[in-house]
Structure 1
Amino acid sequence: MASDASPPGEEEVKVRRRRRRREELRKTEDIEELTSAGHKALQEGRPEDALRHFKEALKAATQLQDSRVLRACSFNLGAAYVEAGRPQKGLDLLQQAQPGPKANRVPDLQFNLALAHNALGQSQEAAASFLQAAQLYRSQGDGRSEGDACMELSRCYSRTQDWSLAVQGFLRAAESYRVAAMLDSAASALKEAGSHMIQSDEFSQDDISGVLTECLSLTDSISDQRILGELYLSVGVSYCRLRCFQEAVQCFQLALSPVTQCPPLLASVLHNLGAALNSLGQFSPAVGYHRLAAGLYGSLGGRGDQARCFTNLAFACSQLGDEEEAAESFILALQGFKDTEDHLGQVQVCESLAECYLKQRKQQKAVQLYKQALSALSHCQDSGGFQDRLVEKLTAALRMSAGRQV
């Protein structure tokens, strides 16, 4: 006769299954909590805490025996190792996260693999993975991530001095950021593109100016004052390299207000503004900027940059006929270059100061400076054609001095 009763032991099996499901659910929740805590730690700049959370999550995933969850936890831990400055450990885990051909179809994995290769100095492998990531992000319509991948790709090319490829990457990043309505990031990408175009011989001045103009057209979209100031400064420097000094001056002047609260940036802007005005022959306004920059660099402890400012100040004063202040500024510059052991800087200042003394008919001091310049030149690996010129000038100064003594 049939019976409705369950066979012996079936109820126990059902209980064990329910218990196992509850245990799996609990472990899944624990993994989610640990993963969330790990991401939060990374965002807050606590990489060691993040590693601890992700390690615990991976351990729980191993016990769960779910390959999808295991891959995700391996990925998180690997990415955290890369961010914590342990790229080889991170690379090993990332390669375990998605082995086989499927790895080539996961953009975040490719991006983090690229970061690991990059940190290990493997530029070629890093570039290949960044390019793969960018292509995958584009196929998903993720303009922001594509832009980020292209920026990193271009930096790889920049390190290997592949200027043209770097430019292509930065321009593609700008296009991707535009699609994602991230105009501030697009402006930064264009800034980098213009700077790198100057390094290459494949672009005309019109090409470069066009990119810099496009970059400046996006400045209204930048709300962060520091980023805005850095952009104006960088574009201004690019214009200087193109010898478009009037455009450079305009950029540096626009940079002044945004960098007011950032002394190091303000010093750099003042320094470059004064130098650009020197190049335009506008020495009177340049003098004020040179003095401000030199004082600011002094308060920041930037002796080398301060010395360069004093050199620019001396040149401007000399052009204005104030040989006394020019000489004083050259002396200050010389001391700064001595303090920083910049031998080439010493050579250049000694030569200029000697000429300044010659104008004041102080031949003996000029002779001493030319000798000092030759002594400093002996510490330079490349004389750069200085020696013959200095010897010739020293000889002439000695003759003038001897003539005055007679």
Structure 2
Amino acid sequence: MASDGSPVRDAREKQKQKKKKAERSGTDRADVEETDAQLEIQRLTAAGHAALQSGHNNTALQSFRSALKTATKLREKRLQRRCAFNLGAAYVETGEPQKGLDVLSRTQPGERGERIADLQFNLATAHEALGDRTQAAIHYLQAAQLYRSQGDAGAEGDTCVRLAHCHLLRKEWDEAAASFQRAAESYKLAGNASAAALALKDAGKHMLQSGRSSSDEIISVLTDSLEMSVNMSDQQTLGKLLSDVALSFSQMRLFSEASECLEQALPLVSSKPHRLAVVLQNLGAVYNSLGQYQQSLRFHREAAALHGSLGSRGAQGRCFSNLGFALVELGELEEAWESYLHAQQAFRDTDDPSGQWQACEGLGGIKLQMKDPDKASMYYKDALRLLCKCQDVSVSVQERLVSELSEALQQKLRIQQRGAASQRTAPERHHDRRQPRVLCLQDDGCEV
């Protein structure tokens, strides 16, 4: 059948069809290329996260840089922001906060995107690493608010803890305590009782440190912490929490409550020698404060031996000092004398003038009871001399040492005037030995 059109018209129609076919082929090719690019970005991003987790930082950064470079060739701005976010976060995590901050600052979305809370968190982390805690606190607070609006209570709790640490570095105790309390509330909502207990423990500690909260408020927070910790599965973490709460109770002079916490902590920390030594030491000191000296002896001796085996000479000296005090109260003066001598040497070894003057005071008190005023005077003078090397010592301490030195000199004068025989029957002034100086509780700074 012949064609119903002219040869020219047929040629033009064929050209149009070829052009449309080429255009369709080009569009398909562009779509394929964009899909391939998106898949490559996904692969590079996954590889970057995997490298970060395995500690291969350079590989991770290279993967994230390649992902961002690939994303810049695409039309999707949101994908570009995500890639830039990942690269900036990786810089922060791998110890290059300034580079991370530079990249993250360019990824600020124009609208409230799904990752804006994470972005604020990473900006805060970068500022914190650079030492700008004011900006870090601002971004952490924004991140916490955004996590709350998203219903992510766990992330809000973690962010509030980081915010609290910023306040601590700025010595803003009240703000830190409030942030820890908010973290605890968030963790409760997230069903994380253990994290809530730890946050409340820290809140109570810093409420006490600020001095602006009432005793009832602090006790309430610490009690809530203990209640939340009942089902804590990690026994070592529970042991540390109990030890820390005991320290706060002790600072409030709630020694019975402190001893109860420490007794519970004792079997939980048995596998951690440094922590065990601290708990033993603090138990001995608490029982000293309760006047239960016979019960305290075992803890003092075990703590001193364990600290010695660990090379913790200063802590060992404090244990010997506490042991000497308990032995004096029990009338075991010879053994007490040996303990204070051990304490004095330990404090000399660690160049600790504060410990040295306390040991000298203990030695002076023993010599005074043994009616050796010359030696007693010598030790009290040494204590006063060493006291001058210490900072933040109350005037009452110096006044007490001067009073004890005066008592020793008066005893010497009485001996000279009446003779040793009459002195044995003379009434003896007995200075108060129950001074807070012997309560050598130690903060547990060991890692879990």
The alignment's TM-score, normalised by the length of structure 2, stands at 0.83
- Of the structure 1 ranges 6-15 and 46-55, higher mean CA displacement relative to structure 2 is found in 6-15
1:368 paired residue number: 378
Could you tell me which of 232, 251, 256 is aligned with 2:261?
251
Residues 46 and 305 of structure 1: is their aligned pair in 2 closer, same or farther, counting only changes over 3 Å? Answer: farther
- The 1:134/1:343 distance shift into structure 2, 3 A limit, reads same
Report the counterpart of residue 98 of structure 1 in structure 2: 108
Secondary structure of the residue aligned to 1:90 is helix
SS in 1 for 2:212: coil
1:354 to 359, 364, 376: 364
Quote the Cα distance in structure 2 between the aligned partners of 1:101 and 1:314.
68
| Aligned match of 1:161 | 171
Contact kept in structure 2, 1:104 and 1:110, CA below 8 Å: no
Greater displacement, 384-393 / 192-201: 384-393
SS of 2:389 mapped into structure 1: coil
Residues in 2 aligned to 1:102 and 1:206: alpha-carbon distance in whole angstroms: 42
The CA deviation string for residues 297-330 of structure 1, in whole angstroms up to 9 with x for no partner, is 1222211211111111111111111111211111
Question: For residue 194 of structure 2, what is the amino acid of its counterpart?
Answer: D
- Alignment root-mean-square deviation, CA: 2.6
> Does the 8 Å CA contact 2:173/2:210 hold for their aligned counterparts?
yes
**8 Å contact kept, 1:105–1:136:** no
Report the Cα distance in structure 2 between the residues aligned to 1:184 and 1:85, rounded to whole angstroms: 30
Task: Write the distance in 2 (CA, Å) between the matches of 1:45 and 1:105.
Answer: 24
- The structure 1 segments of at least 4 consecutive aligned residues displaced by more than 6 Å after TM superposition are none
Aligned AA (2:155): S
Cα 1:138–1:233 change in 2 (3 A) is same
Counterpart Cα distance in 2 of 1:47 and 1:191 = 35
Give 1:61 deviation, angstroms: 2.9
Structure 2, unaligned stretches of length 5 or more? 1-8, 420-448
Corresponding residue number in structure 1 for 2:119: 109
Unaligned 5+ segments in structure 1 are none
Match of 1:136 in 2: 146
Shift of 1:380: 2.8
- For 1:167 and 1:55, locate their aligned partners in 2 and report how far apart those are by CA, in whole Å: 40
Query: Which whole-Å deviations, capped at 9, do the CAs of 1:331-352 have from their partners, x for residues lacking one?
Result: 1111221122111221121112
Rg larger in structure: 2
Query: Is the alpha carbon distance of 1:10 and 1:45 closer, same or farther for their aligned partners in structure 2, counting shifts above 3 Å?
Result: same
Q: Cα distance 1:134–1:303, how it changes in 2: closer, same or farther (>3 A)?
A: same
CA offsets 1:356-382 (integer angstroms, 9 cap, x no match): 222223333323323332442343345
Report how many residues are paired.
406
TM-score using structure 1 length: 0.90
The alpha carbon displacement at 1:278 in A equals 1.0
Aligned residue in 2 for 1:260: 270
Equivalent residues in 2 for 1:7-406, closer than 5 Å: 14-64=24-74, 66-98=76-108, 106-382=116-392, 384-385=394-395, 386-387=397-398, 389-391=400-402, 393-394=404-405, 396-398=407-409, 400-401=411-412
User: Which stretch shows the higher mean deviation, 107-116 or 202-211?
Assistant: 202-211
Structure 1 residue 215, shift from structure 2 partner: 1.2
1:186-221 deviations in Å (ceiling 9; x for gaps): 111111111112123332211111111111112233
Residue identity opposite 1:263 in structure 2: P
Q: 1:319 to 1:52 in 2, by over 3 A?
A: farther
Whose relative contact order is higher, 1 or 2, with alpha carbons under 8 Å and at least 6 apart? 2
